[in-house]
Structure 1
Amino acid sequence: MPYRHTQPGTFSVATCLVSGTFGALLLWNADHHSSAMTLLIVESVVAVLFSSLTVEVGRRELRWHFGPGLWRHKVPLIAIKEIAVVRNGWWHGLGLRFGSGFRLYSVSGLDAVELRLAPNDVRRIGTNDPHGLAEAIRAARSRTDDAEDQGV
């Protein structure tokens, strides 16, 4: 059974819309009308792009994308060496982040599944179903390993 889960980015969307509206009001009151409109448009686009995070575990790969799927990411299951359920610090932020020894993909909350692909290649995928995602990846990897053992 394939795994597909979409986490809504409620916090990301709310942050974009509130900060965009507040900033636009300040700019509008300072007679920077075009800047206010530009800020509202940019924040609205960011809110749509990070409105959710969808993760799918297929037969041979793990795939994920933000919002409507403008940027898609994937990892072959055989490339995953270790899987762990982790909790990010609030300082790691949301969205697509590089640094702290891993790449983070997150839209809301602090829970994530950490995938170690190589000693210096670690990805964290934020989710509100970390145990379900980790188990789905383990199960799919097990099926992939069994198929390779049988020469499929």
Structure 2
Amino acid sequence: MPYRHTEFGTLILVVCLIIAALGAAMMWHKAQAPMILMLAILGAVVVFFHSLTVEIGDNELRWHFGPGLWTYRLPQNEIESVAAVHNHWWNGFGIRTAPGFTLYNVSGLDAVEFKLKSGGVKRIGTDDPTGLAAVMRTQFERGA
């Protein structure tokens, strides 16, 4: 496999930890079922979105969040162009649909944009945008 990189969602982990601490403090004073539900949801967010792994191999781009319960796949022959980009802070984290593109991101503002032959655009957040874009361009040149 020519490329595999995992970015950890530091911001997501910190925000969830702060919210969980506040929720636990509130439960300490008065145990409430909604707080237990909130902590369970935060736990699920941490498990499913603590990292984003991107892989290139077998003529496709693959990426998944956390433990990889679901994997996104994009055949290389469907990609028209690749570029390292910088997202705005308001594009957020997680899986987002913004005007003109779909974003998959766990931390930071850097991403690689994949323009598809179908006209769609996917952005995958990464702390290694130049490395991911360079490997994809090399794959295009090889015709893999």
- TM-score, length-normalised on structure 2? 0.91
Whether the 8 Å contact between 1:9 and 1:108 is mirrored in structure 2 is: yes
Q: Is the Cα contact below 8 Å between 1:112 and 1:124 reproduced in 2?
A: yes
Paired residues in the alignment total 144
Q: 2:92 — aligned with what? A: 93
The residue that corresponds to 1:50 in the other structure is: 49
Q: CA deviation at 1:26?
A: 3.5
Q: Matched residues, percent identical?
A: 49
Going from structure 1 to structure 2, the CA distance change for 1:71 and 1:129 (only over 3 Å counts) comes to: same
Paired residue for 1:82?
81
Indicate the residue corresponding to 1:4 in structure 2.
4
Q: C-alpha deviations, 1:103-135, integer Å up to 9, x for none?
A: 000100000000000464100000000000001
Instruction: State yes or no: 1:71 paired with 2:70.
Output: yes
Structure 1 window deviating more from structure 2 (113-122 vs 101-110): it is: 113-122
Any idea what SS the aligned residue of 2:130 has?
A: helix
User: Separation in 2 of the partners of 1:120 and 1:14?
Assistant: 36
Runs of 5+ in structure 1 lacking a partner? 148-152
CA distance in 2, matches of 1:65, 1:75: 12
Return the offset for 1:27: 5.7
5+ residue gaps, structure 2, are none
Structure 1 stretch displaced more, 99-108 or 126-135: 99-108
The SS at the match of 2:108 is coil
- 1:108 aligns with 107
Kindly report the root-mean-square deviation, in angstroms, between the aligned alpha carbons of the 2 structures: 1.7
Letter in 2 for 1:114: E
* AA partner of residue 62 (structure 2): R
Moved runs in structure 1, 4+ residues, more than 3 A? 23-29
Q: Is the 2:78–2:118 contact (alpha carbons within 8 Å) kept by the matching residues of 1? A: no
Q: Distance in 2 between matches of 1:115 and 1:124?
A: 6
